[in-house]
């Protein structure tokens, strides 16, 4: 699965420049994923340039949800969650465990509103971050992880080489106009050999991908409804974040982050 890995800088640069022209079409696709990352293998082996992309790649490959490796062990599955009614389940979870704006250790209120489902929920307060088996607002167990959430997360991880992913935690983020998330690492999980599966729902947003150190350069990639990112392995501890949504935007963005936390 390392066709666009550490040594193919040329291929990665091509990817970043053609991604923006492809995304609208990819995300409006309702085709199911192909089983293997055939499309990018072909692109990489033929060194196809953005401007000739549409002439050289068979339509069926270009418009399917094909896994793209953005960097070592960071995968984008564009449109992979199409066909799952995620909003309905998000609303159901939020009906039992409502969205709230947590405070971070420095005392600042997060612009993103959050809730959780599954056995463990990620929470932040002025005293730190934690995974808790209950909602601190109600002292009740978090709502169960909806079956379609679990299926989607397991399928996505399996598709890009993690067949044993067992998510026990799903953090649901809700972004309103102006809300974003600063660069951070996900490092509160017990077993860092399990990947992160991150699903974008509804409005689009610019996702930032940095390196393993905070001061490394950051790239942005526009994520659309139903796009799934999976990262782990060599990139499990990458810095990442979300650029603030435009101030005048009315559509909400949601993100589901599946983790094996306990």
For ligand SIN, give the closer residue by CB, 97 or 242. Answer: 242
198 binds, among Fe ion, ligand SIN, none (CB under 5 to 8 A by kind): ligand SIN
For ligand SIN, give the closer residue by CB, 57 or 171. Answer: 171
Q: Which of residues 232-261 bind ligand SIN (CB under 6 A)?
A: 240, 242, 255, 257
Nearest residue to the partner ligand SIN, using Cβ: 255
- Strands ordered across the beta sheet of 219-223: 181-184, 240-242, 205-209, 219-223
For ligand SIN, give the closer residue by CB, 198 or 235. Answer: 198
The mark string for 131-170 relative to Fe ion (x by CB under 5 A, - otherwise) is: ----------------------------------------
By rule CB under 6 A, what count of residues binds ligand SIN? 8
What's the CA gap between 93 and 97, in Å, rounded? 6
Q: Which one of the spans 56-64, 105-113, 142-150, 182-190 is the region binding Fe ion (CB under 5 A)? A: 182-190
198 binds ligand SIN (CB under 6 A): yes
Question: Which residue is it, tokens 């990018």?
Answer: 40
Supply the minimum distance, in Å, between the C-beta of residue 93 and ligand SIN: 16
Its sign, for the CA torsion 62, 233, 10, 47, is negative
Reduced to 3 states (helix: H, G, I; strand: E, B; else coil), residue 182 is strand
**From 168, 186, 189, 225, residue interacting with Fe ion (rule: CB under 5 A):** 186
Closest CA to 66 of 117, 112, 32, 93: 32
Exposure pattern of 129-138 as b/e (b: 16+ CB <10 Å)?
eebeeebeee
Quick one: DSSP state of residue 261?
A: -
Q: How many other C-beta atoms can be found within 10 angstroms of the C-beta atom of residue 61?
A: 14
Binding stretches for ligand SIN (CB under 6 A): 173, 181, 198, 207, 240, 242, 255, 257
């Amino acid at each position: 699965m390392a066709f666009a890995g550490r040594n193919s800088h040329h291929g990665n640069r091509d990817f970043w420049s053609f991604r923006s022209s492809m995304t609208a079409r990819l995300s409006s696709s309702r085709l199911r994923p192909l089983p293997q990352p055939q499309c990018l293998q072909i692109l990489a082996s033929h060194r196809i340039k953005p401007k000739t992309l549409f002439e050289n790649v068979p339509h069926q490959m270009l418009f399917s949800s094909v896994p793209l490796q953005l960097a070592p062990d960071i995968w984008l599955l564009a449109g992979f969650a199409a066909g799952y009614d995620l909003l309905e389940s998000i609303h159901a979870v939020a009906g039992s465990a409502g969205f709230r704006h947590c405070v971070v250790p420095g005392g600042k209120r997060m612009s993103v509103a959050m809730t959780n489902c599954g056995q463990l929920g990620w929470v932040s307060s002025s005293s730190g971050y934690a995974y808790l088996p209950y909602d601190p607002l109600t002292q009740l167990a978090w709502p169960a992880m909806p079956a379609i959430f679990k299926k989607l997360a397991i399928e996505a991880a399996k598709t890009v080489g993690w067949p044993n992913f067992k998510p026990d935690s799903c953090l649901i983020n809700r972004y309103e106009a102006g809300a974003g998330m600063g660069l951070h690492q996900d490092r509160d999980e017990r077993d860092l050999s399990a990947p992160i599966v991150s699903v974008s729902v509804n409005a689009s947003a610019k996702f930032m991908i940095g390196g393993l150190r905070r001061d490394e350069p950051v790239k942005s990639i526009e994520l659309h409804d139903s796009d799934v990112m999976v990262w782990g392995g060599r990139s499990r501890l990458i810095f990442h974040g979300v650029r603030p949504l435009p101030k005048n935007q009315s559509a909400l963005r949601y993100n589901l982050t599946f983790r094996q936390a306990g």
